[in-house]
Amino acid sequence: MAITKTDFMRGMQCPKMLWLDKHRPGLKVIPPEVQARLDAGNEFGDRAMAMFGPFEEMTVYRPGTTIPDKKAMVEKTKQHLLSRTEVICEAAFVDYNNYCAIDILRKSGAGYDLYEVKNSPEVAEQFIRDAGFQYYIASRCGVRIGKIYIVIHGEGEEEFKPIDVTQRAKGLYTWINEHIWDLNRRQKEPEEPAIEVGEQCSLPYECWYYGYCHGTVNSSESSMPE
């Protein structure tokens, strides 16, 4: 694949982060509390799949592994779009090798509404970029996207709270198009980018290569959690 949603978000925070993901992922150190947050987010996402009732999940794994088979997921998604399945989860799309999987697509009118699920009490700017990237890929694949929502966690009995971000997410189309091809080129460069440490090392997320770039761990590429 060229650029995935995760690649885009990480590359926009710092192109060196994306380069290290591709060339030296063993240098990554994910703090336990971050891993716990990621795991909680995955569980929240799994529960959210049923927020509209019955659904079809597109996830397909390579035989004998837990590695997603993206090609098979894209094909399965195409079939469900053709048969106008009501709720499609982990809907996968490829455009010029750029890839995304959408948490939830829900049939509406002539197309689908898009739901990006985040285990958070509020909508952060990067969530809207995330949804914007998905809109970019899905719409280029010919899917008519209506509304776009970020699903955050509500209070009390309302576990899932969709927030309409349609206008802002769709408004990012040109910005994404301006950067996606450059990131694709930069991730393939043979040399590590010469980027100084700075604010981007912690904003919006603490970088998993923080120790490597700040010289607080050596580069022996030992046992890093994935």
Distance CA 143, CA 94 (A): 12
By CB under 6 A, tell whether 207 contacts ligand SF4.
yes
By CB under 6 A, tell whether 209 contacts ligand SF4.
yes
CB of residue 210 to ligand SF4, shortest distance in Å = 5
Distance CA 70, CA 146 (A): 24
Residue 209's alpha-carbon distances to 27, 36, 175, 202, 219, in angstroms, are 6, 18, 26, 11, 10
By CB under 6 A, tell whether 141 contacts ligand SF4.
no
Residue 166 or 200 having the CB closest to ligand SF4: 200
Are the beta carbons of 105 and 114 closer than 8 angstroms? yes
By CB under 6 A, tell whether 205 contacts ligand SF4.
no
Return the DSSP state at 135: H
CB of residue 7 to ligand SF4, shortest distance in Å = 13
By CB under 6 A, tell whether 16 contacts ligand SF4.
yes
By CB under 6 A, tell whether 12 contacts ligand SF4.
no
Distance CA 168, CA 152 (A): 17
Number of residues that bind ligand SF4 (CB under 6 A): 12
User: Where along the sequence are the contacts to ligand SF4 (CB under 6 A)?
Assistant: 14, 16-17, 20, 195, 197, 200-201, 207, 209-210, 213
